[in-house]
């Protein structure tokens, strides 16, 4: 079923984009989420004529830049451009790895990192790796630019702290030149790899013990989260299977605490435990 006519604008500069967004416009980058959502709202009968503001021509929102301690990824950088980027492969391989596992080639060639973040799906694959890199978002509107920790930006399924008229300009991620990291996802084959759960971990070792840790999980809560209880458990310990199994139980309990028991709990609980242990153990192996 096709959509009724929608107003569409493709501004050539940020200033024009801000003006258009001030008047009820919806930002669009690759459109791989937006178009589906517009169609769904039309089918549900709550579609009202909207203005779609296509950000594709805003070159300043695209590209990957070395900023010393950080890497700046432009919001409309395509997922396919993250996969083999040398900076990411070297300093943030879990982000490149997650991008390589998202959707199909066609989706990766259209979909963007900013779209994945702003869409704020509980299972968004780029978000756990961004969280373990202490990601900070740069958002701008007509008169203001602000920085927000990704962790504080996410509010719930499809909900963020993005203010009316704001555009995500880019995301700053901390370079990691020590330690090891890993991303893992569980996906249904027939759903073009959309994740049911995803996890990312970064561990650094000193004298054989874990000296720094980041652990983030998607789809165990209304939005992807860092699980600090796991990070605290790991600090100062020697990596071991027993330790990572304990971490898995903590993540399972966290999920139950947040979401309560559901029909899917008997299936999800052991998977959460196992995948947590697996992502941590691979991050530790890489750190060695
Ligand atoms: C078949 C299929 C498979 C998929 N597989 C996966 C998968 O494996 N893993 C996964 O995580 N996702 C998957 N997705 C979802 C989607 O492709 C990703 O979320 C993608 O990254 C969205 O990027 P986009 O540029 O297309 O976003 P858009 O659809 O353009 O936008 C998404 C949301 O972000 C907002 N937005 C976009 N850019 C900006 C900006 N710069 N500033 C402010 N707001 C902005 C839009 O208004 C909208 O609310 C899949 C989708 C499809 C259709």
Is 181 inside any structural domain?
no
- Which pLDDT band, with edges at 50, 70 and 90, does 193 fall under? low
Backbone angles phi, psi at 122, to 5 degrees: -60, -25
Output the CA angle 123-129-132, nearest 5 degrees: 120
Q: Which atom of ligand 1 is nearest to the CA of 139?
A: 42
Measured CA to CA, the distance from residue 190 to residue 181 in angstroms comes to 28
Other beta carbons within 10 Å of 285: 12
Is the pLDDT at 227 greater than 70? The verdict is yes
Q: What is the pLDDT of residues 71-96, one digit of tens each?
A: 999 999 999 999 999 999 999 999 99
State the Cα–Cα distance between residues 199 and 225, nearest whole angstrom. 10
In 3D space, the residue among 167, 26, 175, 162 whose CA is nearest the CA of residue 95 turns out to be 175
Question: Atom 12, ligand 1: which residue's CA is nearest?
Answer: 124
- Return the ligand 1 atom nearest residue 78 CA: 25
Name the residue with tokens 């990691």. 176
- Ligand 1 test: best mutation among 10, 18, 20, 27, most atoms within 8 Å of CB? 27
Q: What distance in Å separates the CA atoms of residue 158 and residue 95, rounded to the nearest whole number? A: 21
Average pLDDT, the chain: 93
Mean pLDDT confidence for 51-67: 97
Picking from 279, 260, 156, the residue whose alpha carbon sits closest to that of residue 216 is: 279
Check whether residue 159 and residue 203 sit in a common domain. Answer: no
Count other C-beta atoms under 10 Å from residue 185's C-beta: 23
Instruction: List, for residues 165-178, the tens digit of each pLDDT value.
Output: 999 999 999 999 99
Domains in the chain, number = 3
| Whole-number pLDDT of residue 261 | 83
- Ligand 1, atom 40, lies closest to the CA of 168
Residues 264 and 165 in one domain: no
Q: Which domain holds residue 272?
A: 196-287
CA-to-CA distance for 64 and 173, rounded, in angstroms?
A: 11
284 C-alpha to ligand 1 centroid (Å): 31
Q: What is the pLDDT of residue 192?
A: 58
pLDDT digits (tens, 9 = 90+) for 244-280: 999 999 999 999 999 888 888 888 899 999 999 999 9
Q: What is the mean pLDDT of residues 198-206?
A: 98
- CATH code: domain of residue 159: 3.30.465.10
- Residue 189 pLDDT exceeds 80: no
pLDDT of residue 49: 63
Residues with CB under 6 A from ligand 1: 26-34, 36, 55, 75-76, 79, 102-103, 107, 110-112, 114-116, 118-119, 124-125, 162, 167-168, 192-195
More confident residue, 50 or 37: 37
Q: How confident is the model at residue 50 (pLDDT cuts 50, 70, 90)?
A: confident
Indicate whether 178 belongs to any domain.
no
Q: For residue 104, give the ligand 1 atom closest to its CA.
A: 3
In angstroms and rounded to an integer, the radius of gyration of the C-alpha atoms of the chain is 19
Mark whether 283 and 214 lie in a shared domain: yes
């Amino acid at each position: 079923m096709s959509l009724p006519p929608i107003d569409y604008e493709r501004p050539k500069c940020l200033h024009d984009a801000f003006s258009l967004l001030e008047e009820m416009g919806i930002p669009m980058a690759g459109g791989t989420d937006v178009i589906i959502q517009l169609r769904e709202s039309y089918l549900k009968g709550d579609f009202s004529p909207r203005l779609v503001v296509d950000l594709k021509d805003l070159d300043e929102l695209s590209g990957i830049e070395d900023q010393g301690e950080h890497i700046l990824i432009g919001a409309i950088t395509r997922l396919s451009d993250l996969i083999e980027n040398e900076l990411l492969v070297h300093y943030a391989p879990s982000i490149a790895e997650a991008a390589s596992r998202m959707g199909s080639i066609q989706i990766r060639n259209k979909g963007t990192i900013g779209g994945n973040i702003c869409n704020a799906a509980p299972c968004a694959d780029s978000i756990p790796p961004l969280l373990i890199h202490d990601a900070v978002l740069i958002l701008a509107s007509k008169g203001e630019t602000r920085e927000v920790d990704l962790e504080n930006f996410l509010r719930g399924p499809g909900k963020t702290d993005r203010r009316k008229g704001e555009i995500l300009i880019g995301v700053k991620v901390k370079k990691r030149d020590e330690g090891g990291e890993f991303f893992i996802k569980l996906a249904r084959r027939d759903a073009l790899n959309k994740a049911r759960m995803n996890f990312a971990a970064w561990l650094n070792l000193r004298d054989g013990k874990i000296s720094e840790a980041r652990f983030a999980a998607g789809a165990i809560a209304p939005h992807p989260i860092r699980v600090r209880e796991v990070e605290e458990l790991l600090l100062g310990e020697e990596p071991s299977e027993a330790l990572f199994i304990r971490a898995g139980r903590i993540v399972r309990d966290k999920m139950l605490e947040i979401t309560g028991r559901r029909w899917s709990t008997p299936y999800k609980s052991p998977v959460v435990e196992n995948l947590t242990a697996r992502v941590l153990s691979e991050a530790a192996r890489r750190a060695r």
